[in-house]
Amino acid sequence: MADSAQAQKLVYLVTGGCGFLGEHVVRMLLQREPRLHEIRVFDLHLGPWLEDLKTGPVQVTAIQGDVTQAQEVTAAVAGAHVVIHTAGLVDVFGRASPKTIHEVNVQGTQNVIEACVQTGTQFLVYTSSMEVVGPNTKGHPFYRGNEDTPYEAIHKHPYPRSKALAERLVLEANGRKVRGGLPLVTCALRPTGIYGEGHQIMRDFYRQGLRLGGRLFRAVPASVEHGRVYVGNVAWMHVLVAREMKQRAALMGGQVYFCYDASPYKSYEDFNMEFLGPCGLRLVGTRPLLPYWLLVLLAALNALLQWLLRPLLLYAPLLNPYTLAVANTTFTVSTNKAQRHFGYEPLFSWEDSRTRTILWVKATEGSAQ
């Protein structure tokens, strides 16, 4: 919102502000949004690191709350100029029930929208996902696609379904009159697989490799490319959209934007090795060591075990029918819509993103070297 009132002191609310992406958004706002008066960090689980942010000139307000509780959301939104809604259950491993995923990701998003309308907050940025598009259940590749590329989006898994429903709510809310009579301006950002400092799945792969004597075993063909994007660039895109959407409401309102940077197109596993290799791990096999049908069988066995063990414990391995299917389907984006609409350029180069991620992985549990 680059307007003449540069001195205007703004109040931002970041839901999910203590999550992997959310923390980077909070820190990016503090570093690169000069008009901030207050940043409200709303999350079910508040991080201890928030206390360290309270020593600066910007008021940092930690709010422990649940997006499924409308009154808690309304109280947190009231008085905010901008809401960046990243909170969500990012679960493709069967940890949460489909009902809970829907309640958090869809009803929670509806609560945020209604809170903006009821309290007069005019700008809402929603963290959507590539999964709103695909990969679809037919395994159709999405190769170097953009926001306008035709693609048969078919969702059966609770997570992508919830993201698609929530994104539609956000885009349809664009233009609604908020309290005071001004129009609500909404945007949805679609990151591909986010990586970087704080990525728990990367940490899980690292730990798995350490347990296996410094080795990981290829399960996905190197030819299956997956788009990935550095968390710092995703955070930067959120900050930039929030800044520009007031001046460019007619152009940006109700739009979706893929999050992208210069991260290379590689298979999910080969991309992870860009970071895990320098930390001492080795990816065994130039092609999958097990035939696909056996991987399908093992994934199904994992799903069965999860169901059988659920009354006793949570068994949620990385390999399940959904993760195997997604990992084995090419999904890459090539677009410049964010650059054309609001001047986005990645803040972090591939080299910088890679170095930062490697340093983080090494710091998590020392190096395997």
Instruction: Please list the alpha-helical segments (H only) found in the chain.
Output: 20-32, 70-77, 98-102, 108-119, 158-173, 200-211, 231-244, 249-252, 268-276, 292-309, 321-327, 337-342, 350-365
Contact 274, 216 (CB under 8 A): no
- Residues 90-119: x where in contact with ligand NAI by CB under 6 A, - otherwise, as a string: x-------------x---x-----------
Contact with ligand NAI (CB under 6 A) among 11, 26, 68, 306: 68
Examine residue 167 and tell whether it contacts ligand LYMKJE3O (CB under 6 A): no
- Using CB under 6 A as the binding rule, whether residue 194 contacts ligand NAI is answered as yes
Q: Which does 22 bind (CB under 5 to 8 A by kind): ligand LYMKJE3O, ligand NAI, none?
A: ligand NAI
For residues 211 and 205, give the distance between their C-alpha atoms in angstroms, rounded to a whole number.
10
Q: What is the dihedral of CA 292, 293, 298, 303, to 10 degrees?
A: 100
**CA-to-CA distance for 78 and 80, rounded, in angstroms?**
6
CB 142 within 8 A of CB 135: yes
Considering beta carbons, is residue 166 or 249 the nearer one to ligand LYMKJE3O?
166
**Binder of ligand LYMKJE3O out of 82, 87, 173, 219 (CB under 6 A):** 219
Q: Scanning the structure block, which residue is given the tokens 């509806």?
A: 110
Is 92 a residue that touches ligand LYMKJE3O (CB under 6 A)?
yes
Q: Does 20 bind ligand NAI (CB under 6 A)?
A: yes
347, 92, 130, 88: which is closest to 225 by C-alpha? 130
> Which letter does DSSP use for residue 226 in this model?
B
357 binds ligand NAI (CB under 6 A): no
Task: Collect all residues with Cβ–Cβ distance below 8 Å to 170 and sequence separation of at least 6.
Answer: 85, 109, 113, 124, 126, 128, 186, 188
Distance CA 23, CA 50 (A): 9
Q: Which residue is nearest to ligand LYMKJE3O (CB)?
A: 193
User: How many chain residues bind ligand NAI (CB under 6 A)?
Assistant: 25
Query: Cα Rg for the chain, rounded, in angstroms?
Result: 20
| 153 binding ligand LYMKJE3O? (CB under 6 A) | no
| 324 counts as binding ligand LYMKJE3O under rule CB under 6 A | yes
The site that binds ligand LYMKJE3O (CB under 6 A) totals a number of residues, namely 18
**DSSP code at position 49:** G
Judged by beta carbon, residue 130 or residue 165, the one nearer ligand LYMKJE3O is 130
Indicate if the alpha-carbon torsion angle 19, 241, 232, 129 is positive or negative. positive
Using left for φ > 0, alpha for ψ between -120 and 50, and beta otherwise, residue 181 falls in left
Question: Interface with ligand NAI includes 18 (CB under 6 A)?
Answer: yes
Of 12, 159, 268, 344, the active-site residue reads 159
Q: Identify which of 162, 186, 189 has the alpha carbon closest to the alpha carbon of residue 114.
A: 186
Name the residue nearer to ligand NAI (CB basis): 168 or 246. Answer: 168
Q: Is 159 a catalytic residue?
A: yes
| Interacting span for ligand LYMKJE3O (CB under 6 A) from 37-45, 65-73, 174-182, 219-227 | 219-227
Q: Which of 170, 168, 65, 44 is nearest to 116 (CA)?
A: 170
CB of 7 to ligand LYMKJE3O, least distance (A): 37
> From residue 250 to residue 279, what is the string marking binding to ligand LYMKJE3O with x (rule CB under 6 A)?
------------------xx----------
Residue 166 engages ligand LYMKJE3O in binding (rule: CB under 6 A): no
Out of ligand NAI, ligand LYMKJE3O, none, what residue 268 binds, judged by CB under 5 to 8 A for its kind, is ligand LYMKJE3O
Pairing, β 255-259 against β 185-191? parallel
- 43 near ligand NAI (CB under 6 A): yes
Q: State the residues that interact with ligand NAI by CB under 6 A.
A: 16, 18-22, 43-45, 66-68, 86-90, 104, 108, 127, 129, 163, 191, 193-194
